[in-house]
Amino acid sequence: MVKVIFKNLPLENLHPGAELSANAATCAQEQNKFWDYYDGLFLTKDHTDESLVALAGQLDLNYNTFVTCLDNSKYQKNINQDLMDAVDLGLIGTPTYFVNGYKFEGVLSAEEWDQIILQAYNKPR
C-alpha cells in the first residue's frame, strides 16, 4: 500500500508569496484540483492574489468558493502545523520524501525512485 501525505513548507524568505500560494493550492483541493493547481504554480513566477485567482479560473474552479476560501486564509492553521512538523522532522528544504521511515532529500530521478520502491517492496515485513 502506498500512502502519500503532502505537507506545505512555504518559505517566504526564499519564495515571496509562498504562503499565499500554499493557501490557494489548499483551497483548490476543496474542488479536487490540488495537483492541477500545484502544477500551475510552478509554471508562473507571479504569486500575487490576482495571479492565483486567475489560475483558479483557468482550472474552472468555482470563483466564489475559491476566493472566499483564499480571502479567509481558511487553511492557514493547517499550513502553520505543516511548518511545525517540518521543524520537528529536521527538514531543511523541499522536496523531502519519507519512504518507510527513511528520508530522501532533493529531486530524485526515475531510476532512483525505482530503486527506492523496489527496496521498500522487497524488504521483509
Chain centre to alpha carbon of residue 38: 7
CA proximity to 31, closest of 78, 77, 82, 70: 70
For position 125, what pLDDT does the model report? 65
C-alpha cell read off for 39? 502544477
C-alpha cell read off for 92? 531543511
> 38 with 32: CB under 8 angstroms?
no
Query: Backbone phi, then psi, for 99, in 5-degree steps?
Result: -130, 115
pTM: 0.85
pLDDT in tens, 15-72: 899 999 999 999 999 999 999 999 999 898 889 999 999 999 999 999 999 999 999 9
**Predicted confidence (pLDDT) at residue 1 exceeds the cutoff of 80:** no
pLDDT in tens, 72-123: 999 999 999 999 999 999 888 888 999 988 899 999 999 999 999 998 888 7
